[in-house]
């Protein structure tokens, strides 16, 4: 059977923002006719804020914190922990002090269930402040450098670039690929994500998905276009 799996930020919504209302209505109808899972680095409260309960509580499963916090019909059904070495936090604080990007807005190390998220600009940044960091990072590839250092210096820990401003950090194997344990070998998994390039937080799942197809999208509009094209082809 076809199983649809979707990232959230940059795939179903603009990063850190609510889903477009017209697309939300279309997607609610899509969920009613298909088997849909969500997998995101964000926690459940943020996903609920972005997508609303009509989506979050009607998909088969909502995998938060890269699959380390699992929700079904609005209730937590499983969670995993992550204990990081002290040296990791020191490394992140060193980058926070050394980065040449001038803005700091707070909430730079967010400790979620089963993972951490690190952001130089901070999770409290406004959309305009986030946009400034996106431009800076595109020129300087700062997040790639931070992730590379973490992956080089720490065993059994993996860092990937996630969203527009953050880095997702967790135990090796504790990334989005772990959700495949909940699927059957004959499931046809159609995975949609915007960070499928090496180093992106959708890459581990895309690489491990041998049971179907991966769709590397640019944004939610691209997701919508690909889904409607698939429906037209099927029809």
Active-site residues, by number, are: 7, 9
Query: Two tokens at 235?
Result: 């029809």
Contacts of 215 (CB under 8 A, 6+ apart): 190, 191, 192, 193, 223, 226
Rg from Cα positions in the chain: 17
Secondary structure (3-state) at 4: strand
Instruction: Decide if 200 contacts 41 (C-beta within 8 A).
Output: no
> From the centroid of its chain, how far is CA 49?
15
Pairing type for strands 36-39 and 61-64 reads: parallel
Of 35, 56, 29, 59, give the one whose Cα is nearest residue 44. 56
CA distance 215 to 226: 8
Query: Two tokens at 43?
Result: 């926690």
Q: Is the dihedral of CA 190, 192, 198, 199 positive or negative?
A: negative
Contacts of 209 (CB under 8 A, 6+ apart): 180, 189, 191
């Amino acid at each position: 059977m076809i199983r649809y799996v979707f990232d959230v930020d940059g795939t179903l919504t603009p990063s850190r923002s609510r889903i477009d209302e017209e697309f939300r209505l279309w997607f609610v109808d899509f969920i009613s006719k298909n088997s849909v899972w969500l997998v995101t680095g964000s926690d459940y409260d943020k996903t609920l804020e972005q997508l609303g309960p009509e989506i979050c509580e009607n998909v088969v499963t909502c995998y938060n914190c890269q699959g380390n916090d699992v929700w079904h019909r609005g209730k937590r059904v499983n969670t995993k922990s992550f204990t990081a070495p002290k040296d990791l936090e020191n490394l992140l604080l060193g980058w926070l002090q050394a980065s040449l990007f001038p803005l700091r807005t707070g909430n730079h190390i967010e400790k979620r269930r089963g993972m951490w998220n690190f952001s130089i600009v901070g999770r409290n940044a406004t959309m305009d402040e986030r946009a400034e960091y996106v431009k800076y990072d595109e020129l300087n590839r700062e997040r790639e450098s931070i992730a590379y250092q973490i992956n080089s210096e720490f065993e059994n820990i993996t860092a990937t670039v996630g969203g527009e401003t953050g880095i997702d950090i967790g135990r090796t194997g504790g990334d989005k690929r772990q959700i495949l344990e909940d699927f059957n070998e004959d499931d046809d998994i159609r995975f949609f994500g915007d960070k499928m390039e090496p180093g992106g937080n959708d890459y581990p799942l895309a690489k491990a998905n041998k049971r179907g197809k991966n769709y590397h999208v640019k944004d939610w509009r691209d997701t919508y276009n690909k889904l409607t094209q698939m429906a037209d082809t099927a029809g």
